[in-house]
Amino acid sequence: MVNLMPTELERYRRQIMLPGFGEEAQQRLKSATVLVTGVGGLGGTAALYLAVAGVGRLILVRGGELRLDDMNRQILMTDDWVGKPRVFKAKETLENINPDVEIEAIFDYVTPDNVDFLVKSADVAIDCAHNFVERDLLNAACVRWRKPMVEAAMDGMEAYLATIIPGVTPCLSCLFPEKPEWDRRGFGVLGAVSGTLACLTALETIKLITGFSQPLLSQLLTMDLNQLTFAKRHSYRDRNCPVCGTPSSLPLKFVVAL
């Protein structure tokens, strides 16, 4: 387990004070590497809360340049960055907020050529991609390499969240054998909606890494933020799932092994 510097003990003092958290949980965060895909209004905000919580290393993956209509929700961005690769600005902003966090920025989308390397490089993956092509690639790689994945998506005022542990919980293919109509760019969105979901996504990731509190296992959290309605829906593994249907012989732990 890594040691915490005096400045880190002070920076994270208020969360270390939480009953059941303590220095050991903080050390686990410092030792962890988290992959964040789709670093936009959702992924970028989740990365922000992981950085300020003290996750030791973040791998940020996102292709494409910043557009002006991204600015209502992508809180790591600044107006002068419009037209430039957003993932590099995300790295710069996070490093300015917490210089103790190591951040790697990859200007690319999730592809069949890079997904295995990305997943193997991390302890936990966060799936905030804007389409189900990338989401399915990441899900399959996490199942192959036995890596937990926090799945988060939104459309308009609706959102869902699930924590996936290969061999223990349903995978994304179990949850959505038929893909929702959310697989598109350009839907309407309020920044506060993506921010709400992003905070919960970061919280689930912190739970997985530290063992602090109970993560959302085998449940799909759905949110209707028009009505502020939240529901937990029990989910089931499909034993015939083409992605995770073969039982694993590998031991699994809810807390990431660091």
pLDDT, tens only, 90-103: 999 999 999 999 99
Place 254 in a pLDDT band, splitting at 50, 70 and 90. very low
Place 187 in a pLDDT band, splitting at 50, 70 and 90. confident
Give mean pLDDT, residues 200-215: 96
What are the DSSP E strand ranges found in the chain?
33-37, 57-61, 102-106, 124-127, 149-155, 158-164, 219-224, 229-234
Q: State pLDDT tens for residues 234-244.
A: 999 999 999 99
- Is the predicted pLDDT of residue 257 greater than 60, yes or no? no
pTM listed for this prediction: 0.93
Burial 209-245 (b: 16+ CB within 10 A, else e): bbbbeebbbbbbbebebeeeeeeeeebebbeebebbe
- Going by C-alpha positions, the residue among 75, 46, 47 that lies closest to residue 59 is 47
